[in-house]
């Protein structure tokens, strides 16, 4: 048990697309399919809807608290590295709030920050040596998997969706957040959003030029990724008849009491 929760893990090292990796992805995929299948059940009962939203929000917050507890126990917690200030970390907090108050602006942010970041993280996990059955293995997949679950829940059950203007709105918010984090990094000596130097482990940033120019390249990559994640909705809107789309826009399913 001590080794399972220790930072000095001596068990199996995590490997991309190994059986533990594929198993985690498979379980999450089944959960997303289940959510889509049962969306009308949640939509048909305000009590069931609220219960599910609160469960997902609780999972997000509890796993984040557990991660900080793990870092404290192993003496690795630091304000320069341990706060939820990377985009996925912020999405954990914002997703929990979104699920509780059903705020549409938070959905827009989480759709592009959380959904985009979490999918990339699940496909190329950055959890170092911590393979199955270490605590960090479970925490990582629960964290990122639940971010996606939160966005899909608001989409499947509550009918939320991004608009084209959402792309530019969230892109603007991202740049404001980047400035705030740059100041915070300077104060605490951190590297949140990787704007002070490249990650120690290899990443796509390695192909974007030297500092500080790769930060500008990241801006372009971010905007392109936002547009890619909006693309399915753009295609759908082109396929739906204009008169049907006109009556559908911003019309959300009614949750029955």
- Statement: residue 257 has pLDDT above 50: no
Q: Residue for token digits 């949750």?
A: 255
Nearest 10 degrees: Cα torsion 152, 153, 159, 163? -40
Whether 156 contacts 227, CB under 8 Å: no
Residues 99-148 have pLDDT tens digits of 999 999 999 999 999 988 899 889 988 888 899 999 999 999 999 999 99
What would the mean pLDDT of 165-186 be, rounded to a whole number? 96
Reported as half-sphere exposure (CB side, CA atoms, 13 A), residue 159 has a value of 10
- What contacts 205, CB < 8 A, 6 or more positions away? 194, 198, 199, 214, 218
pTM here? Answer: 0.90
Model confidence at 80, pLDDT cuts 50, 70, 90, reads very high
One DSSP character per residue, 179-190 reads HHHHHHHHHHT-
Share of residues in the chain with pLDDT > 70 (%):
89
Confirm if 150 and 95 have CB atoms less than 8 A apart.
yes
Percent of the chain residues past pLDDT 90, beyond the cut:
69
Q: Which of 80, 72, 106 is nearest to 91 (CA)?
A: 106
Predicted confidence band of residue 10 (pLDDT cuts 50, 70, 90) = confident
Helix (H) or strand (E) holding 122: helix 116-123
Q: 3-state SS of the chain: helix, strand, coil percent to 5?
A: 70, 0, 30
Question: For 11-67, how does the pLDDT look when each residue is reduced to its tens digit (9 = 90+)?
Answer: 888 998 999 999 999 999 999 999 999 999 999 999 999 999 999 999 999 999 999
- By the 10 Å C-beta count (0-12 exposed, 13-18 middle, 19+ buried), 197 is classed as exposed
Residue 206's pLDDT is: 67
**Range 63-87 average pLDDT:** 95
Distance CA 146, CA 194 (A): 24
How many whole angstroms from its chain centre is CA 82? Answer: 17
Residue 251 pLDDT exceeds 80: no
Domain boundaries, the chain: 2-248
Please report, for the chain, how many H helices and E strands are present, in that order: 11, 0
- pLDDT at 186 (0 to 100): 95
**42 CB neighbour count, 10 Å cutoff:** 22
The region, left, alpha or beta by phi > 0 then psi within -120 to 50, assigned to residue 6 is beta
């Amino acid at each position: 048990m001590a080794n399972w929760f220790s930072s000095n893990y001596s068990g199996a090292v995590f490997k991309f697309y190994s059986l533990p990796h594929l198993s985690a992805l498979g379980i999450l995929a089944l959960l997303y399919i289940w959510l889509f299948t049962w969306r009308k059940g949640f939509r048909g009962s305000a009590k069931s809807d609220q219960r599910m939203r609160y469960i997902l929000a609780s999972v997000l917050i509890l796993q984040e608290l557990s991660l900080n507890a793990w870092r404290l126990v192993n003496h690795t917690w630091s304000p320069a590295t341990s706060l939820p200030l990377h985009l996925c970390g912020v999405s954990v907090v914002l997703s929990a709030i979104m699920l509780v108050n059903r705020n549409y602006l938070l959905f827009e942010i989480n759709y592009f920050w959380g959904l985009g970041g979490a999918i990339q993280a699940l496909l190329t996990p950055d959890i170092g040596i911590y393979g199955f059955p270490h605590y960090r293995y479970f925490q990582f997949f629960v964290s990122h998997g639940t971010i996606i679950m939160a966005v899909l829940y608001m989409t499947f059950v509550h009918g939320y969706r991004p608009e084209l203007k959402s792309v530019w709105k969230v892109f603007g918010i991202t740049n404001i957040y980047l400035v705030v984090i740059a100041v915070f990094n300077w104060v605490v000596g951190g590297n949140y959003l990787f704007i002070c130097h490249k990650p120690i482990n290899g990443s796509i940033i390695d192909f974007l030029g030297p500092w500080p120019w790769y930060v500008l390249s990241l801006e372009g990559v971010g905007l392109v990724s936002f547009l890619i994640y909006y693309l399915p909705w753009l295609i759908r809107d082109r396929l739906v008849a204009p008169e049907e789309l006109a009556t559908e826009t911003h019309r959300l399913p009614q949750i029955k009491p």
